Amino acid sequence: MKHMSQNIRVFIVDDHEIFRNGLKMVVGKLGGMTVVGEAGNGKEFLEKIEHTEADIILMDIEMPVMNGIEATFRAMEEDPGRKIIALTMFNDDEYIQSMMDAGVMGFLIKNVSRETLKKAIETVHRGGNYYSEELFRFFTRQLSRETRTDEPDLHLTRREKEILQLLCEGLSNKEIADVLCVSERTVVGHKSNLLSKTGCKNTLSLLSYAIKNKLVVI
């Protein structure tokens, strides 16, 4: 198991070289992290990632040749264990659901602060999900407006509801286990049940589903 004291290897995918260089510089100064690769589009990323061991991938959404959505889908098909954080702007909101479906574990606004970038990388590295605070508020407002009128009959248990709420608050499996005084394996089991009951493919899609259907308090 990896510990936070170990070096986190970061791969950056963005078509703007100046932004990429700036992000590399910031990541390099965060401490405990190293940029191990970079690419200017999804196609280049897929070619390079085959020969690069990366713990975290920072993925832009809109890029030439191959965008971040297709690149993420393909990367996750090759290795479902990859941990990808989407880099986005507020006007990319229509792509958020597509990136969630592709399997990303977080979203960051491109003008993110150093502290938030560090927290996001560390959170996703240990298995959690992360949203920029501004984007989370924006995203939840968008989803709340899309609330379905036919309330799903899921028959969730009390524990499943508790875990769903904590997941939507951004806690990792381990953090949820600590809060509820249960084992991490128990949390994983309940998450698996939640995914099965809702038909969601991953935790972020589950988050979207829970907000739309008012299964959590936001």
Facing residues of 87 across strands? 60, 108
Q: Is 173 exposed, middle or buried (0-12, 13-18, 19+ CB in 10 A)?
A: buried
In this prediction, residue 218 carries a pLDDT of: 66
Asked which of 136, 165, 185 is the last residue of a domain, the reply is 136
- Give residue 200's domain range: 147-212
Asked which of 136, 158, 183 is the last residue of a domain, the reply is 136
What percent helix, strand, coil does the chain show, rounded to 5? 55, 15, 35
Q: Which two tokens stand for residue 127?
A: 């298995």
User: Closest Cα partner for 218 from 147, 113, 126, 127?
Assistant: 147
Is 2 part of a structural domain of the chain?
no
| Per-residue pLDDT of the chain in tens (218 residues, 90 and over written 9) | 444 446 999 999 999 999 999 999 999 999 899 999 999 999 999 999 999 999 999 999 889 999 999 999 999 999 988 999 998 875 556 677 788 778 888 888 888 889 989 989 998 998 877 877 766 666 666 666 665 555 567 788 999 999 998 887 777 788 899 999 999 899 989 988 998 888 887 777 787 788 777 787 76
In this prediction, residue 93 carries a pLDDT of: 61
Query: What is the CATH classification number for the domain harbouring 18?
Result: 3.40.50.2300
Residues 50 and 128 in one domain: yes
Residue with tokens 């100046």: 18
In this prediction, residue 123 carries a pLDDT of: 87
The SS3 assignment for 191 reads helix
Q: Is 163 exposed, middle or buried (0-12, 13-18, 19+ CB in 10 A)?
A: buried
Q: Is 188 exposed, middle or buried (0-12, 13-18, 19+ CB in 10 A)?
A: middle
